[in-house]
Amino acid sequence: MYTPPTLDVNMVKTTSVTELRDDLARVIKQASEGPVIVMSRSRPAAVLVDPNTFEALIENSETLADIVEGRVALATYLEDPAAARDAEEVFARLGY
């Protein structure tokens, strides 16, 4: 699993929509070095990141969702142990 480098807020680059349109190759190169915030009318409009960072963000988001789901399931079980299901029953319902 890819772990992106720690983000130093002072190192975040910004560019305008106009600069992005005029020099896309340069902005893409900047994104390979760290996030680039694209500004439109002095407001953040988008954030460009390299593909590895994007993939890591998605993976981390999915991992966090799994953790939350597991904690909810554990809380449900602790409130009512009868709510537990046998693993083989679950796998059978899932078609495994």
Tens digits of residue pLDDT in 74-95:
999 899 988 888 889 888 988 8
Structure tokens that stand for 22 in this block: 């005029």
State the pTM of this model: 0.65
Give yes or no for a contact between 45 and 38, defined as CB atoms under 8 angstroms apart: yes
Say how far apart CA 62 and CA 65 lie, in whole Å. 5
Domain ranges of the chain: 9-94
Query: In the CATH scheme, what is the code of domain 9-94?
Result: 3.40.1620.10
pLDDT score, position 78: 92
Burial of 19 (0-12, 13-18, 19+ CB in 10 A): middle
Tens digits of residue pLDDT in 51-74:
999 999 999 999 999 999 999 989
